Amino acid sequence: MKKAAAYFATTVAAVATLSLAACGDTTEPAANLFNDSTTTLDVAASAGDAMATSVTTMMQGDTVGGSSADYIESSASLATDPTNNINVTRTRTCLDANNAVLANCLPVASIKKVIVQASVSGSRSSTRTTTGGTSATWTGSVHRSALDTVTRGFATGTATENSRTHSGNGTANDTTTFTDGTITRLMAESAHDTVKTLVFNLPHSSNPYPASGSIVRAVTVHVAITAGERSFSKDVSRTVSVAFPADAQGNVVLTVNTKTCNLNLVTHVVSACH
């Protein structure tokens, strides 16, 4: 009886060990779906597109060509590049040199600052190059709001306006899906954007990109990854920044945590991350 009991106990222990091993085998491959570097590149692509859209939104928000009279408009819609369907609505409050509100933003000559509240929504799509050199497609929806203070700059001792400086902040709740072969990564992004002294020289027609300043995005992402019947999710955070000026083709340096990339403000494409 003792030998039988000992054999039974040994068998039970072996089965329990195999069961725990099997349980580990089913969760480990799912966890292996997550790659930290891949997620960082996904965030860079999404944030870079958002920052390029933000630059366009700010520039067109204070009009093209540097005509101050265009401040009178109370709202506007904006569609950016052909792959995006972005709508922007704006309201403006104009202030004089004493920070007093100017009704109807008149007279134009008295405007010194404009506070712009913007709401951004719509959809977007693009591609990015993976670490292995293949192409990952991505699509998503955007829901953003921003508060932007625009300060008019004038040539010393004149009434000639030669620059506009943007400072402000915004929030974003974007959803982006990356498709990479058989793997799908759904990213729910919650972000806070800070625009730091972004200077546009005038006229915009010959100065389409900021001459100085930066944009910083602090983003928290819930990543849900699926591949066939396997799935895995994880929460991560990243800090993305872009510093100006851009070159003549609209290229700027974008950093995401420890990686450095190139962002093109015209195509919104993020590339050459290392």
Nearest to 242 by CA among 49, 37, 41: 49
**26-40, 41-55, 100-114, 175-189 — which is least confidently predicted?**
26-40
SS (H, E, C) 19-54: HHHHHHHHHHHHHCCCCHHHHHHHHHHHHHHHHHHH
Burial label for 67, CB within 10 Å (0-12, 13-18, 19+), is middle
**Res 27 pLDDT > 60:** no
C-alpha closest to that of 245 among 46, 55, 66, 63: 55
Tell me if 83 sits within 8 A of 119, measured CB to CB: no
Residue 68 confidence class, pLDDT cut points 50, 70, 90: very low
Judge whether 183 and 172 are in contact, CB under 8 Å. no
Domain map (residue ranges) of the chain: 33-271
Q: What is the pTM of this model?
A: 0.82
pLDDT digits (tens, 9 = 90+) for 104-120: 888 888 999 999 999 99
* pLDDT cut 90: percent of the chain above it: 63
- pLDDT classification of 83: cutoffs 50, 70, 90: low
What pLDDT is recorded for position 129?
Answer: 76
